Structure 1
Amino acid sequence: MSVVKIDDSGRETLTDKKINSHISNEKFENRLFVRLIVKDKNFEKVSFKYTNFESSYLRGCKFDSCDFTGCKFVGTNFSGAKFIGCKFDYTIFEKTIIDNDILDNCCPSQENLKLKFARTLRVNFQQLGDSDSVNKAIKVELDATKEHLHKAWHSNESYYRQKYKNIKRIEMFFYWLNFSFWDFTWGNGEDILKLVRSVFIFFILMGLFDIVINQNQYLTSNSFDFIWQMPVKIPAIFFATLSSPNYPLWYTTLVFFVRLVFFSLFTSVILKRLNRR
């Protein structure tokens, strides 16, 4: 049996420190900063790889082209801090005050890393009760997830073709198809306008079906009168305030089922919004 050798990581712990000057082209890698204090200082091309920040205060600082790969921020205050062209691959945020502008200019380029980045920020903003930032992070996360699923089965990039082969590639296609369907239907629970659009599309389908069922009336009577009645008639049938003996049982059952689904989705969207406040 082989002996497993576990070496010390060499992480240096720095507690109750303060930085009083601008810093550029330095390395603060694999360190643990506890209650670090920095205010209104500039950091340019500084590497913080695999460094943890706990209960630190970095207010009003400017980070330009810094590397935060593998970092973890816990209870850290970045109020007023600016991040320009920084790298945040595999970074974790917990109960950290930070502006949501970071989602605009510092997201990782790869979609799988981008969605993880947006997800950790979403959870972080939820911990702080910042509903607007949560919504913004969710949008970035959903967009990145959709693109990631699409590339998983369609892209010829070496990363995706090595990770998703054969059956796994087919599975990712169906994952993408399911995700895209619900994204179109109701924005995966985040876009009430898409849900309203889906209801109107269903109304149009109901109108076409009504024309097929009552085609004799359309041919023998003034068809324009029937068309002008559609905007009132179709919603009335959908909400069960009007019934027609011409409709088959399977159709009325389908409308009833779809109505329940749309009501459930609408309720879910409203509750999600309220729970973030």
Structure 2
Amino acid sequence: MNDQSNTPVVIATEPPILAGDTLPSLDLVRRVVVSHKKVVGADWRNRDFVDFNALKTVFENCDFRYSNFERAYFRDARFVNCRFDGARFHECNFKSANFYRCDLKFAHFHECLLEVREFVASLPAEPNIRRESLSNLKANAIEVGDYENVGFLVLQEIEATKRHYSYAMSGFDTYYRNKYPTFAARAHAGLKLLWLNLNGLVWGHGEKPWRLLGSCLVTLVALGFVNFWSVMPRVGWDNTIGGLNVLTYVLRLFLDMVPDEQFQGFVVVDYAAVILRYVYIGLFISVLYKSISHR
């Protein structure tokens, strides 16, 4: 089997055909078999492939642009410098497949088994294109029940979106200068970027539960520090035990426990602590539901 890896590729169809660098001009090609072969320079654009068997096949400098693949088997395949612009894959298997210097612009996957991180590493760098590809990979992961990678894809999509809005604000290139030509459009992009950064800081976009706990504690400590300047002149340093009782007051208020009113500070801090209680309860329930629903 290994001795045949560099032999000319014979593609078996009905009827059998011999493929050199290109396939014959066929609109629909069924039962293609190139497993355990090496395919170099094949031009397979604008074709409809059904039952494409490419187990452990090496593809080099091949062109798959705008082709449709149904039930293709690319397990353990290796793609080197191949183009997949606009290609569509339905019920295909890419488990353990590897990609090197491949172009996956606008490639679309539906109900496919993928090595998600391998595909993400090969996605285009342009953030507007990248986030569309990540959105498709996320939808595909949900379709096949690959919830382990859904969170990873969500965060990758958000990072691409943040870079997209950052480019929009700065007018990074002609595309962004044309798409966001006015100050108002760029300001709107800036507000969306600010919201995404704040969302990530508070709870990691729902994918980082420990970020939620950390931001909650930091916020409560900050509220306690604000209250300290109101309580300290009235109560004194010793009675606050170095400010610890002021922080305890805010924590008890947040947890809906009866606080010691002696250490009450600014009223606005009290309202903020109560509001934060319900906000963080809602965020916690959302994270918990997401975690349970994916089991």
Q: TM-score with structure 2 length normalisation? A: 0.83
CA distance in 1, matches of 2:267, 2:26: 71
- The letter of the residue matching 2:278 is L
For 1:212, which of 196, 206, 229 is the aligned residue?
229
How far off is 1:105 after superposition?
2.3
Alignment RMSD, CA only?
A: 2.1
Cα separation, 2, equivalents of 1:206 and 1:169: 33
Distance in 1 between the 2:101 and 2:214 partners? 38
1:185-220: CA deviations, max 9, x gaps? 11222222221222122112221122122122453x
CA distance in 2, matches of 1:276, 1:138: 14
Q: Residues 95-154 of structure 1: CA distance to partner in whole angstroms, max 9, x if unpaired?
A: 101112324520211011111111111111111111222122112111111111111112
Q: Secondary structure at the match of 2:104?
A: coil
- The question of whether the paired residues in 2 share the 8 Å contact of 1:122 and 1:134 is answered with yes
Q: How does 1:47-86 map to 2 (within 5 A)?
A: 47-86=63-102
Do structure 1's residue 92 and structure 2's residue 94 form an aligned pair?
A: no
Of 105-114 and 152-161, more deviation after overlay is shown by: 152-161
SS of 1:137 mapped into structure 2:
helix
AA matched with 2:271: T
1:102 aligns with 2:118: yes
Alignment match, 2:3: none
Determine the structure 1 residue equivalent to 2:10: none
Superposed displacement of residue 85, structure 1: 1.6
Question: What corresponds to 1:174 in structure 2?
Answer: 191
Question: Matched residues in 1 for 2:142 and 2:26: separation?
Answer: 30
Of 21, 26, 34 in structure 2, the residue corresponding to residue 19 of structure 1 is 34
Letter matched to residue 147 of structure 1: R
Q: Could you say which residue in structure 1 is the equivalent of 2:5?
A: none
- What CA distance in whole angstroms lies between the structure 1 residues aligned with 2:278 and 2:42? 60
Distance 2:26 2:165 in 1: 37
Alpha-carbon distance between aligned partners in 1 of 2:45 and 2:60, rounded to the nearest angstrom: 15
Q: 1:230-268 CA deviation, whole Å, 9 max, x = no partner?
A: 564432221121324334654433321111001101111
The aligned amino acid for 1:216 is P
In structure 1, what is the Cα distance between the partners aligned to 2:42 and 2:80? 12
Q: Would you say 1:268 and 2:286 are equivalent positions?
A: yes
SS of the equivalent of 1:131 reads coil
> Residues of 2 paired with 1:269 and 1:85: CA distance?
37
Question: Gapped runs of 5+ residues in structure 2?
Answer: 1-24
**CA displacement 1:54-103 (0-9 Å, x = unmatched):** 11212211111111110111100112211112111111111101112324
CA–CA separation in structure 1 for the residues paired with 2:44 and 2:112: 20
Aligned residues: 267
Distance in 2, Cα, partners of 1:104 & 1:89: 12
Kept in 2, the 8 Å contact 1:44–1:65? The answer is: yes
2:214 aligned residue: 197
Q: What is the CA–CA distance in structure 2 between the aligned matches of 1:107 and 1:93, rounded to whole Å?
A: 13
Contact 1:103 1:137 in 2 (8 A): no
Deviates more, 1:88-97 or 1:225-234: 225-234
Aligned identity (percent) is: 22
Tell me which amino acid in the other structure corresponds to 2:216. V
The one-letter code of the counterpart of 2:34 is I
Matched position secondary structure for 2:96? coil
TM-score by length of 1: 0.88
Q: Which residue number corresponds to residue 234 of structure 1?
A: 250
1:170 Cα offset (Å): 2.2
Separation in structure 2 between the aligned mates of residue 227 and residue 169 of structure 1, nearest angstrom: 44
Secondary structure of the 1:14 match is: strand
Preserved contact between residue 76 and residue 96 of structure 1 (Cα < 8 Å): yes
SS at match of 2:291: helix
- Aligned partner letter, 1:51: S
Which structure has more relative contact order (CA 8 Å, sep 6+)? It is 1
1:259 pairs, out of 267, 271, 277, with 277
Alignment-mate amino acid for residue 234 of structure 1: V
The partner residue of 1:188 within 194, 205, 209 is 205
Alignment of 1:115-154 (within 5 A): 115-154=131-170
